[in-house]
Amino acid sequence: MKNRFLAGIAAAAVASLPLMVAAPALADVTIGVTVSSTGPGAALGIPLKNSVELWPTEVGGEKLKVIVLDDAGDPSTATTNARRFVNDDKVDVIVGSALTPASIAVAGVAAETSTPHLGCSPVPPNISKGKWTFIMPQDAGLIARNLFAKMKADGVKTVGYIGFSDSYGDLWMGQFKAIGEQYGLKVIADERYARPDTSVSGQVLKLVAARPDAVFVGASGTGAALPQIGLRERGFTGKIYQTHGAVTFDFLRIAGKAADNTVFASGPAMVPEGLPDSAETKPEGMAYVTAYEKKFGAGTRTQFGPHINDAMAILKKAIPIALKKAKPGTPEFRAALRDAIETGGPFPASQGVFNFKADDHLGLDDRAVVLLTAKNGKFELTK
pLDDT for 26: 53
pTM above 0.85, yes or no: no
347 touches 242 (CB < 8 A): no
Q: Residue 372 is which amino acid?
A: L
Question: How large a percentage of the chain has pLDDT more than 90?
Answer: 82
pLDDT for 24: 43
98 touches 35 (CB < 8 A): yes
Is the pLDDT at 20 greater than 80? The verdict is no
Helix crossing, 201-210 with 225-233: angle to 10°?
60
Task: Report, as an integer, the average pLDDT of 114-118.
Answer: 98
- Distance, in Å, from the CA atom of 212 to the CA atom of 176, rounded to the nearest integer, reads 15
Summarised one tens digit per residue, pLDDT across range 340-382 is 999 999 999 999 999 999 999 999 999 999 999 998 888 999 8
| Residue 15 banded pLDDT, cuts 50, 70, 90 | very low
pLDDT for 188: 98
Buried b (16+ CB within 10 A) or exposed e, 17-42: eeeeeeeeeebebbbbbbbbbebbbb
Taking Cα atoms as reference points, which of 147, 334, 210 lies closest to residue 138?
A: 147
Task: Please state, rounded to an integer, the average pLDDT across all residues of the chain.
Answer: 91
Summarised one tens digit per residue, pLDDT across range 175-192 is 999 999 999 999 999 999
C-alpha angle 89/92/93, rounded to 5°? Answer: 105
pLDDT for 40: 82
- Distance, in Å, from the CA atom of 103 to the CA atom of 33, rounded to the nearest integer, reads 11
Summarised one tens digit per residue, pLDDT across range 143-182 is 999 999 999 999 999 999 999 999 889 989 999 999 999 9
Summarised one tens digit per residue, pLDDT across range 227-283 is 999 999 999 999 999 998 898 888 999 999 999 989 999 999 999 999 999 999 999
Task: Report, as an integer, the average pLDDT of 17-39.
Answer: 72
- Distance, in Å, from the CA atom of 347 to the CA atom of 361, rounded to the nearest integer, reads 13
Q: What separation in angstroms does the CA of 263 have from each of 161, 243, 338?
A: 15, 9, 36
Check if CATH label 3.40.50.2300 holds for domain 140-266+369-381: yes
- Distance, in Å, from the CA atom of 342 to the CA atom of 363, rounded to the nearest integer, reads 9
Task: Report, as an integer, the average pLDDT of 327-341.
Answer: 98
pLDDT for 133: 98
- Distance, in Å, from the CA atom of 166 to the CA atom of 121, rounded to the nearest integer, reads 14
Summarised one tens digit per residue, pLDDT across range 78-112 is 999 999 999 999 999 999 999 989 999 999 999 99
- Distance, in Å, from the CA atom of 61 to the CA atom of 37, rounded to the nearest integer, reads 30
Summarised one tens digit per residue, pLDDT across range 38-47 is 998 888 899 9
Q: Where in the chain is the domain with CATH 3.40.50.2300?
A: 29-138+290-351, 140-266+369-381
CATH superfamily of 29-138+290-351: Response regulator (3.40.50.2300)
| Residue 383 banded pLDDT, cuts 50, 70, 90 | low
- Return the C-alpha torsion angle 240, 242, 246, 251, nearest 10: 10
Q: What separation in angstroms does the CA of 153 have from each of 67, 148, 149, 168, 188?
A: 46, 9, 6, 26, 19
pLDDT for 268: 96
Task: Report, as an integer, the average pLDDT of 121-142.
Answer: 91
